[in-house]
Amino acid sequence: MTSWDEFAAAEPDLSRRVRDLFVAHRHHTMATLRRDGSPRISGTEVDFAHDGLVLGVMGGARRAGDLRRDRRVALHSCTADPGEDPTLWPGDAKISGTAREVDGPQGPPGSHRFLIDLDEVVITRVGTPADHLVIESWHPGRGVRRIERR
């Protein structure tokens, strides 16, 4: 597993762009796995704190139970309509990995704090000219790959 800080040190450009996409909006989408293995999609906020990529989860939230039982998680940045010129769209970012509950500064009593260790980081955007997608992905031990899909 790779921490956000390790990823950012190894890939400063990609990590900056991913972070920018996440901090541009407050609300994002998170996927966890329910007890029966089916997916649960939830709205969430993320924080790039001094100790890494952090999820804060309200006490009693089912997604906290999901993460305690099965640590796998996927995050998707908020995405905006590309507008008139799709080449100006910054794209969207996706992060998948595992969550580990940690102690530390918390919100309301009973809330949970999870650090995310990374398995994959992806940015998808429209290329120039706007006739293809550009997909940049990173995996531990492999580094960054760029694919253009028409």
Contacts of 12 (CB under 8 A, 6+ apart): none
Copy the structure tokens of residue 21.
């996409």
The model's pLDDT over 60-104, given as tens digits with 9 standing for 90+, comes to 899 999 999 999 999 999 988 888 899 889 999 999 999 999 986
Classify residue 143: in a domain, yes or no: no
Q: Give the C-alpha separation, 132 to 5, whole Å.
A: 31
What percentage of the chain reaches a pLDDT higher than 90?
A: 83
Contacts of 52 (CB under 8 A, 6+ apart): 3, 4, 5, 115, 116
* pLDDT at position 26: 94
- What would the mean pLDDT of 110-117 be, rounded to a whole number? 93
* Average of per-residue pLDDT values in the chain: 94
Classify residue 23: in a domain, yes or no: yes
Q: CA dist 133 to 69, 90, 137, Å?
A: 36, 12, 13
Q: What is the CATH number of the domain that holds 115?
A: 2.30.110.10
CB atoms within 10 A of CB 80: 13
Instruction: List the one residue out of 27, 42, 60, 51 whose CA is nearest residue 114.
Output: 51
* pLDDT at position 80: 83
Q: Give the C-alpha separation, 53 to 4, whole Å.
A: 6
* pLDDT at position 105: 61
DSSP annotation string for 92-142: EEEEEEEEEE--SS-SSTT-EEEEEEEEEEEEEEE-SSTTSEEEEEEETTT
* pLDDT at position 74: 98
Angle (CA) 149 74 62, round 5°: 150
Classify residue 34: in a domain, yes or no: yes
- Enclosing domain of residue 51: 4-123
What percentage of the chain reaches a pLDDT higher than 70?
A: 97
Question: Looking at the chain, how many residues does it have?
Answer: 150
Predicted confidence band of residue 21 (pLDDT cuts 50, 70, 90): very high
Classify residue 115: in a domain, yes or no: yes
Classify residue 139: in a domain, yes or no: no
Domains in the chain, number: 1
Classify residue 146: in a domain, yes or no: no
Instruction: List the one residue out of 74, 84, 119, 95 whose CA is nearest residue 21.
Output: 95
- What would the mean pLDDT of 35-42 be, rounded to a whole number? 97
Classify residue 149: in a domain, yes or no: no
- What would the mean pLDDT of 45-70 be, rounded to a whole number? 93
Compare 143 and 82 and report the one with higher pLDDT.
Answer: 143
Predicted confidence band of residue 106 (pLDDT cuts 50, 70, 90): low
